[in-house]
Amino acid sequence: MIIGIETSCDDTSVALVDMTGAVLFHRIHSQENLHESFGGVVPEVASRAHVDVLPSLVREAFSVSRTRPGQLAGVAVTRGPGLLGSLLTGMAYAKGLAAPLKLPLIGVDHIGAHLRACVESADEIRGKAIGLVISGGHTHLFRIDKWPELILLSQTVDDAAGEAFDKGAKILGLSYPGGPSIQKEALRNTLPLLPLTRKNIRTESPWDFSFSGLKTAFALLVQKVGITPLTRPQLAASLQQAIVSHVMDRMEKIVACESPEVLLVGGGVSANALLRSRLEELALACGMVLRLSPIPLARDNALMIARHGRELYLAGHYFPYPYKALFPYPRDLSDVRSRKTPRPS
Ligand code: KG4
Ligand code: ZN
């Protein structure tokens, strides 16, 4: 078996898969209630909560699946990117679990794992593929010529898309995390959508994303319109529309330029229903295969770490015991992926 441990941000998650990839256990312990009053993740609170929860979650994994640590072939753990304290917590625990059993330690790239969550089998990532990871921490677009190597094509120059949802929700007095609250509120809208005007978006490449101007434009719009039971859904729907339109503008450009055969979209924001339907329309129009992350696996989870970790282990990408000093991403990750940043001409 491979155990997967995910603690890169505010979810503590553990999964067990057997060597065929079958799931023996998977649980996500959310810290949402701890961060709710702050309207965003507080790193120190997140790290301490991982320390509290992880040992009991791992014990639960073995007892529920009726397995023992002695049956493990390796320990897969998120190595980054993420909050440093949160990553260190998971990595320290993973080393503590692996070392007495002299097990291989598998450092898993969180972004690659989000893309891996989009498919049942990694074999589906073939031909010309593009991957979008869109979450509270990332809005990153990759070309994938040879899985699991990711070639960075573009990214956000400021906030991530999920942050724009979270900040918008905070302005409207909606609960954290903001994405699901904005989506729910937007469904109640009966009024026309309001335009969110922002100054020219200054990005280095036409594929880069930018959300901070949108956030400012939204704050100004809210000031102008005011929050009432009638305008709150209208404002939520207008923000959702603006965020999704910006993402789709970039996706249409990249698809026109790269003509991918497969498009993978993962990360928490990929659960958004409007974004999913717009991506489906694009895929249909361009004749490409769209692989959206199943909604339960769009958010941070350890199953994606265990599955990706198992495949990395089988391909020989792991640290054998005794481990040399191991650091969180971005240090020393050349063994699992390469990053280049080509620009459109
Ligand atoms: O992948 P994830 O769990 O954690 C990070 O790696 O960031 O993503 C969390 C983000 C939050 O910003 C949350 O508001 C957003 O995903 N999110 C959504 C939806 N569900 C979660 N955004 C828009 N629509 C949703 N339905
Ligand atoms: Zn994530």
**Whole domain around residue 270: which residue ranges?**
125-293
Q: Is the pLDDT of residue 335 over 70?
A: no
pTM of the predicted model, to two decimals? 0.92
With respect to residue 147, please indicate whether it lies within any of the assigned structural domains.
yes
Overall domain count for the chain: 2
**pLDDT recorded at residue 44:** 93
Give me the mean pLDDT over the 235-243 stretch. 98
Q: Is the shortest distance between the CB of 137 and ligand 1 below 6 Å?
A: yes
196 falls within a domain: yes
Same-domain check for residues 182 and 231: yes
| Residue 285 shares a structural domain with residue 159 | yes
21 inside domain: yes
Same domain, 133 and 111: no
In this structure, is residue 120 part of a structural domain?
no
Cα 271 to middle of ligand 1, angstroms? 7
Query: Is 210 domain-assigned?
Result: yes
Q: Are residues 145 and 284 in the same domain?
A: yes
Q: Which ligand is nearest to the CA of 160?
A: 1
Given ligand 1 and candidates 176, 181, 182, 299, which is best to mutate, with the most ligand atoms within 8 Å of its CB?
299
Q: Is the pLDDT of residue 326 over 90?
A: no
Of 331 and 7, the structure prediction assigns the larger pLDDT to 7
Label each residue of the chain as H, E or C: CEEEEECCCCEEEEEEECCCCCEEEEEEEECHHHHHHHCCCCHHHHHHHHHHHHHHHHHHHHHHHCCCHHHCCEEEEEEECCCHHHHHHHHHHHHHHHHHHCCCEEEEEHHHHHHHCCCCCHHHCCCCEEEEEECCCCEEEEEECCCCCCEEEEEECCCCHHHHHHHHHHHHCCCCCHHHHHHHHHHCCCCCCCCCCCCCCCCCCCCCECCHHHHHHHHHHHHHHCCCCCHHHHHHHHHHHHHHHHHHHHHHHHHHHHCCCEEEEECHHHHCHHHHHHHHHHHHHHCCEEEECCHHHCCCCHHHHHHHHHHHHHCCCCECCCCCCCCCCCCCCCCCCCCCCCCCC
Output the CA 319–ligand 1 centroid distance in Å. Answer: 31
Kindly indicate the confidence band of residue 343, based on its pLDDT and cuts at 50, 70 and 90.
very low
pLDDT at residue 344 tops 90: no
Using one digit for the tens of pLDDT, what is the confidence trace for 151-206?
999 999 999 999 999 999 999 999 988 999 999 999 999 999 999 977 666 777 78
Q: Is residue 345 part of a domain?
A: no
What pLDDT, in 10s, does the model give residues 277-325? 999 999 999 999 999 999 999 999 999 999 999 999 999 999 999 988 7
Ligand number with the minimum distance to the CA of 304: 2
Q: Report which ligand 1 atom has the smallest distance to the Cα of 163.
A: 12
Looking at the structure, tell me whether residues 318 and 260 fall in a common domain.
no
Residue 344 covered by a domain: no
Residues 170 and 280 in one domain: yes
Q: How confident is the model at residue 48 (pLDDT cuts 50, 70, 90)?
A: very high
Q: What is the CATH number of the domain that holds 45?
A: 3.30.420.40
Per-residue model confidence (pLDDT) at position 137: 87
Report which of residues 65 and 338 the model is more confident about.
65
Q: Ligand 1: does its nearest atom lie under 6 Å from the Cβ of 180? A: yes
User: Is 197 in the same domain as 90?
Assistant: no
Nearest atom in ligand 1 to the alpha carbon of residue 266 is 1
- Let me know whether 190 and 130 are in one domain: yes
Q: Ligand 1 centroid vs 165 CA: distance in angstroms?
A: 8
For ligand 1, is residue 135 a contact (CB within 6 Å)? Answer: yes
pLDDT tens, residue by residue, 129-139:
999 999 998 99
Residue 77 C-alpha to ligand 2 middle, in angstroms?
13
Q: Same domain for 160 and 39?
A: no
**Is 267's C-beta closer than 6 angstroms to any atom of ligand 1?**
yes
